[in-house]
Amino acid sequence: MSDIEEDRYHDIRPYNDEEVRQVLERLGQSFELHRALVSYRFKRYPQWSQRLLTNMVGWQLRRHFAPMTTVDAFQGWLKDWITALIESTTSDVEIHGLEHLEQARSYLWLSNHRDIAMDPTLVGYALVASGWPTARIAIGDNLLSNPVLADLMRLNKSFIVKRSITDRRTRLKEFQKLSGYIRHSLEEGHSVWLAQREGRAKDNLDHTDTAVLKMLSLSGRDDRLSFPEVMERLRPVPVLVQYEWDPCDVLKARELVALEEKGYYEKAEGEDTHSILLGMKGQKGKIRICFGMPLTMDEMQDATRMATATDSAIDQMKTLFPVNYAALRILQDDYQLYQNLNWQCPEDRVLPVEALKARCSEEPVAVRIRLLKTYAASLISRSGLIQE
């Protein structure tokens, strides 16, 4: 990246190799990070040992960080930890579609969004496992209130989407810069991961927000490029990350019920961080990471057509897990919902009805129903019945 480009995007771009040493020294001295790692790895140890373990983890981190001077070196160290995390929290990981794409090219991975940290982590895992380079990752500035988390994310090729700006003119200016950075990254040969919408699809209905696509098109203003011309240069590819079980399912159901009943939901302090940790550490069952084909010029004539094409591609890549069938069965049998929906479960599927009931048994009825609708969403939407 040239010095001019470096200065233009300095406040949103990931850290570069020249900054790695200073950031790692900062993290090596972060008591907050060391304590969080102890809580994660040694939570069953007695309280009296926590201080000693925290000091030990800090010493180990500084020893690991000492030889690292590049982003690639940091990601290489992180790779083993991520692999162990995925192997311990999933029963199987399937990767599909990369064989139909050109490894030498950069792509805009336009992904559905279910988990704050695990979506881009799993896409990165799939890329590395298939011999591809990792991608730069778009993250909202709401996740960067914690400076330790911000450092870790920007070391891991994350760049910042300034969503919290309320002034319309400033927001447009920042989005134009963001769009330019995404285009610049792709032109430099770096693929980019971007969620198809702002915020997670907590109801499991994946719909591309046309505002995201219009933001992407801003990079063509100076060159007076049309919408399809800009998108052709970005090479967008729909990507699906699908979880059998969602560790944050109850939290999402509570939030959706609060929105339905009160019209608003106020996040508690540190709630995003809690969701990140729960999404990482929780059991997810089977995982599927599917890469579609690049969208065509015809599919990208305007934002609405492109959103429809992206949604269609993501939906076609989905499969139905036993838990999806179990959720609909409970909704019909226990709550008399969707009685007019006829469906058949494959004969070889054993439905985890009791496990799903137990997952939300202590929640209010409204939360239970909301959670079940979320798990049944794909099955219901395929029958054209997403409202009842």
237 and 347 share one domain = no
pLDDT of residue 387: 47
Q: State whether 272 and 366 are in the same domain.
A: no
Q: Establish if 102 belongs to a structural domain.
A: yes
In a domain, 55, yes or no: no
Q: Are residues 307 and 338 in the same domain?
A: no
Cβ neighbours for 143, distance < 8 A, ≥ 6 positions apart: 116, 149, 150, 153, 272, 276
Give the mean pLDDT of 288-303. Answer: 98
Q: Is residue 47 part of a domain?
A: no
Average pLDDT over residues 49-74: 90
327 Cβ neighbours under 8 A, 6+ residues apart: 356, 371, 372, 373, 374, 375, 376, 379
Whether the pLDDT of residue 313 is over 90: the answer is yes
Give the CATH number for residue 219.
3.40.1130
Of residues 60, 62, 79, 56, the one with CA closest to residue 26: 62
pLDDT digits (tens, 9 = 90+) for 232-266: 999 999 999 999 999 999 999 999 999 999 998 98
Could you report the per-residue pLDDT of 6-50, keeping only the tens digit for each?
578 999 999 999 999 999 999 999 988 888 888 767 777 777 777
Does residue 385 surpass a pLDDT of 70?
A: no
The per-residue pLDDT for 5 is: 53
Q: Going by DSSP bridges, is the β-strand pair 108-111/285-291 parallel, antiparallel, or unpaired?
A: unpaired
Task: Tell me the C-alpha distance between 35 and 54, whole Å.
Answer: 5
Instruction: Give the SS3 label for residue 109.
Output: strand
Q: What is the mean pLDDT of residues 329-350?
A: 89
Kindly tell me the number of DSSP H helices and DSSP E strands found in the chain: 16, 7
Of 317, 339, 368, the residue at which a domain comes to its end is 317
Taking alpha carbons only, the member of 133, 155, 216, 143 closest to residue 182 is: 216
Among candidate residues 264, 282, 317, the one where a domain is terminated:
317
Residues 214 and 284 in one domain: yes
Residue 21 lies in a domain: no
Same domain, residue pair 104 and 252? yes
Residue 19 lies in a domain: no
Position 272 scores a pLDDT of: 83
> Identity (one letter) of the amino acid at 248?
C
Task: Read off the pLDDT of residues 195-225 as tens digits, 9 standing for 90 and up.
Answer: 999 999 999 999 999 999 999 999 998 889 9
On whether residue 338 sits in a domain, the answer given is yes
Q: pLDDT digit string (tens) for 151-199?
A: 999 999 999 999 989 899 999 999 999 999 999 999 999 999 999 999 9
Bridge partners (DSSP) of residue 158 are 137
Q: Are 203 and 335 in a shared domain?
A: no
**Domain ranges, residue 354:** 322-381
Element of type H or E holding 127: helix 118-129
Looking at the structure, tell me whether residues 128 and 221 fall in a common domain: yes
pLDDT computed for residue 154 by the predictor: 95
Q: What share of the chain is helix, strand, coil (3-state, %, to 5)?
A: 55, 10, 35
Q: How crowded is residue 331: how many other Cβ atoms within 10 Å of its Cβ?
A: 22
Give the strand pairing for 285-291 and 236-243: antiparallel
Q: How many domains does the chain have?
A: 2
With a pLDDT cut of 90, the percent of the chain lying above it is: 77
C-alpha–C-alpha distance, residues 210 and 285, integer Å? 32
- Asked if residue 287 and residue 191 are part of one domain, the reply reads yes
Are residues 361 and 332 both part of a single domain? yes
160 and 227 housed in the same domain: yes
DSSP for residue 359: H
pLDDT at position 26 is: 95
Is 274 within a domain? yes
Q: Are residues 186 and 283 in the same domain?
A: yes
Burial (0-12, 13-18, 19+ Cβ within 10 Å), 10: exposed
Same domain, 114 and 233: yes
Q: Does the structure show a pLDDT above 60 at 369?
A: yes
Is 377 a residue whose pLDDT tops 90?
A: yes
Q: Percent of the chain beyond pLDDT 70?
A: 97
Domain boundary among 297, 317, 337: 317
Which SS3 state, helix, strand or coil, does residue 352 take?
coil
Does some domain include residue 49?
no
Position 348 scores a pLDDT of: 78
pTM of the model: 0.92
How far is the CA of 211 from the CAs of 145, 195, 304, 307, in angstroms? 24, 12, 10, 10
CB 189 within 8 A of CB 198: no
For 248, half-sphere exposure in the C-beta direction (CA atoms, 13 angstrom radius) is 25
